[in-house]
Structure 1
Amino acid sequence: MTEMTETAPGWLSREDLELTRARMPIIYVDAVPVRADASGVVTHVGLLLRIGSDGTVSRALVSGRVLYKERVRDALMRHLEKDLGPVALPHVPASPQPFTIAEYFPEPDVTPYHDPRQHAISLAYVVPVTGDCRPRQDALDLVWFTPEEAASPMVQQEMIGGQGVLLKQALAYVGCLP
């Protein structure tokens, strides 16, 4: 049986990725898409609706790996386009600075962030988007919440792996934590 292996630079085969994940942290970006008014005040937060490999439905941030030889800015743009569509029109600053760094561990309760597959370090950003967002790839939908709704217990319990904690940190960072 011939195995299909992605040959694009920066991608690992499934087996190589599993081996790497077992031995070292993987670099990720997390993006919190937001809508802001004319004065820059965040009015809405976009959360993806996803179905996990186990069939569970959850809310999620835009997230993904940084490829070998890929700039963080380019990784952010790639994942925003992949998840929100090509006309989302994200506004990533020329020199992006994360609002925090989230450290995901395969064991629960080491940090608020948990990913059973790996130890991952994620640079987290709040990214204003002004275009038309249409979820793609494995996202079922994108729902816009007010900051109050996004911080509510109902929405927070729909987020897994500590992304609800990260969302609340993002809201605090932009001065919108209710």
Structure 2
Amino acid sequence: MSLLPAPLYEQIEKSIPIACVDFVPLRRTSTIEVGLIERESPFGVVWCHLGGRILRGETVAQALRRHAVDTLDVELDLPADPQPDYVYQWFPPAVAPNDGTPHGDDPRKQAIGLSFIVEMVGEPRPRNEALGFDYFALDSLPQPLWPGTEYLVRTMLERRRGASADATGR
């Protein structure tokens, strides 16, 4: 897995969609809580989900694990071939769809986010891009959020609840 020189990667970001993994740690207490990081962004300091691009030669599971270690120094409890809870698209304003397609805002690039709800193993220690980390109940998500993060989190949890209800027949 080689990293591209920054100028070349910036040109690629402006030219084609980037395959990414996005993930949200889940914690069950008396309620369901989601883990978010606080980070610098094109929108200032915001709270958002975790993730990033998938490198050439890297599996989805390897990308999820790499981003978890790089950002929070934790392992993830994943199957060998994890499948996304949702596929969410991110667009810069100049190419964002205006046909009602749900999408997040990312002025840097267009990305296809394979999005996961995950369980972490270990105590998170924010580092690198993460200025902070915390868990939040859905009715008290922090502000400001990266534009699109709230939709992503709520959609994944709704789909997860729907799949659980379908599996139990309730």
Q: Which residue of 2 aligns with 1:117?
A: 108
Q: Which residue of 2 aligns with 1:50?
A: 39
Q: Superposition RMSD on alpha carbons, in Å?
A: 2.2
CA contact under 8 A between 1:35 and 1:130: conserved in structure 2? no
CA contact under 8 A between 1:114 and 1:162: conserved in structure 2? yes
Q: What amino acid sits opposite 2:105 in the alignment?
A: H
Q: Which residue of 1 aligns with 2:3?
A: 11
Q: Which residue of 2 aligns with 1:131?
A: 122
Q: Which residue of 2 aligns with 1:105?
A: 91
Q: Which residue of 2 aligns with 1:75?
A: 63
Equivalent residue of 2:75, what SS? coil
Equivalent residue of 1:175, what SS? helix
CA contact under 8 A between 1:10 and 1:69: conserved in structure 2? no
CA–CA distance in structure 2, aligned partners of residues 112 and 23 of structure 1: 18
CA contact under 8 A between 1:47 and 1:60: conserved in structure 2? yes
Q: Which has the higher helix share?
A: 2
Q: What amino acid sits opposite 2:156 in the alignment?
A: A
1:146 equivalent to 2:167? Answer no
Quote how far apart the aligned CAs of 1:53 are: 5.4
Unmatched 5+ residue regions in structure 2? 163-170
Q: Which residue of 2 aligns with 1:6?
A: none
Q: Which has the higher strand share?
A: 2
Segments ≥4 residues shifted beyond 6 Å: none
Q: Which residue of 1 aligns with 2:168?
A: none
TM-score (norm 2): 0.83
CA contact under 8 A between 1:49 and 1:57: conserved in structure 2? yes
TM-score (norm 1): 0.79
Identity %: 31
Deviation string, structure 1 residues 40-96 (Cα, Å, up to 9, x no partner): x97321110112356x221011111100111111000000111111xx332112220
Quote how far apart the aligned CAs of 1:36 are: 3.3
Quote how far apart the aligned CAs of 1:16 are: 0.7
Quote how far apart the aligned CAs of 1:105 are: 1.3
